[in-house]
Structure 1
Amino acid sequence: MDAQEILKLYATGHRDFSHVSLVQVCLMNAKLVGINLMGAELVGADLRGVDLTEAHLNQANLNQTNLAHAAMIQACLTHADLSGADLSGANLTHADLSGADLSGAKLGGSDLRKANLSKADLTGADLRGADLSGANLKETNLSDADLTGADLGYADLTGADIEAAKIDESGLRGTMMPDGVVHA
């Protein structure tokens, strides 16, 4: 299946594209609201600026995918592989990324307000300037992640691994730290 076929079927009302192979497909700036790409192979795809609001991408392989400035509001990305993906400037407000692999991902300037990142792997991820206010980061692996300038206000980091992570104290107001202490 290629980009044109997806867009044509989507335009006719088709939404279920679960388990399709779209390796290195270019769907830049496409509007795919509510699409079901559960278990899809999107390795190396160019999805810059795509609108995936309320999309289902659970267990999808998005390794090395470019999702810069994508809208993924309330998207379901549980257990998705986003390792090495570029999500810089993406809007992931209220997205469910629980159990997702975001190791080495670029999330600088992204909006992750109230996102669920519980048990996600963010090892070595670039989260500089990201908005993680109110995010669920319980038991998340943030080791070696760069959170410089990130807003972690009122986020829950209970049980999170923050070993060797770069974190600014200024963005921690009301944050529940890994040891269960709320940062003032």
Structure 2
Amino acid sequence: MDAQELLSRYEAGERQFSRVNLIKVCLTEAKLIGINLMGAELIGADLRGVDLTEAHLNQAKLNQASLADADMIEACLIGAEMVGVDLTGSDLTEADLSGADLRGAKLGGADLKRANLGKTDLTGADLRGADLSGANLKLANLSGADLDGAYLGKADLTGAVIQGANIRNAGMSGALMPDGTVHN
């Protein structure tokens, strides 16, 4: 399937595109609200500025995709493969990324308020300036992640791995730390 076919079928009212192959597809600025791309192959796709609000991308393969400045509010990305993905400046408010693989992802300036990042692998991820207020980071792996200037107010980091993470200048007021204590 190519970009034009997907957009035509979406405009005709179709929303079910599970397991489609869209490797290296270009869908910049597309409005795909509520689309179902569960298990889809979007490796290397150009999705800059796309609107995937309330989209279903469980188990999707988004490795090396560009989703900079995308709207993914309340999107479901459970178990998605997102190694090296660019989510710079994206809005992932209340998105469910539990169990996702975000190793080496670029999330600088991303809005992750109240997002579910439980058991997510964020090893080496760039989260500089990201807003993670109220986010669930239980059992997340943040080893080597850069959280310089990120805001983690009231985030839940219970059981999270943060060895080697840069948390310099991170706002952590009220955050529940890996050992269960509340950061003041």
Tell me if the contact between 2:103 and 2:124 (Cα under 8 Å) persists in the aligned partners.
Answer: yes
What is residue 166 of structure 2 aligned with on the other side?
Answer: 166
SS in 2 for 1:171: coil
Instruction: Detail structure 1 runs of 4+ shifted over 3 Å in the superposition.
Output: none
Show the 5 A alignment for 1:91-106. Answer: 91-106=91-106
Tell me if the contact between 2:148 and 2:170 (Cα under 8 Å) persists in the aligned partners.
Answer: no
**Aligned-pair identity (%):** 70
SS in 2 for 1:146: coil
What is residue 16 of structure 2 aligned with on the other side?
Answer: 16
Could you say if the C-alpha distance between residues 169 and 3 of structure 1 is closer, same or farther in structure 2, counting changes exceeding 3 Å? same
Q: Greater shift after overlay, 71-80 or 167-176?
A: 167-176
* TM-score, length of structure 1 as denominator length: 0.99
In 2: Cα distance, 1:33 partner to 1:170 partner: 32
What is residue 176 of structure 2 aligned with on the other side?
Answer: 176
> Unmatched 5+ residue regions in structure 1?
none
Residue-by-residue CA offset, 1:29-52 (whole Å, 9 max, x unaligned): 000000000000000000000000
SS in 1 for 2:150: coil
In angstroms, what is the RMSD of aligned CA positions? 0.6
Show the 5 A alignment for 1:98-177. Answer: 98-168=98-168, 170-177=170-177
SS in 2 for 1:166: coil
Q: CA deviation at 1:158?
A: 0.2
What is residue 66 of structure 2 aligned with on the other side?
Answer: 66
Tell me if the contact between 2:148 and 2:169 (Cα under 8 Å) persists in the aligned partners.
Answer: no
In 2: Cα distance, 1:88 partner to 1:147 partner: 13
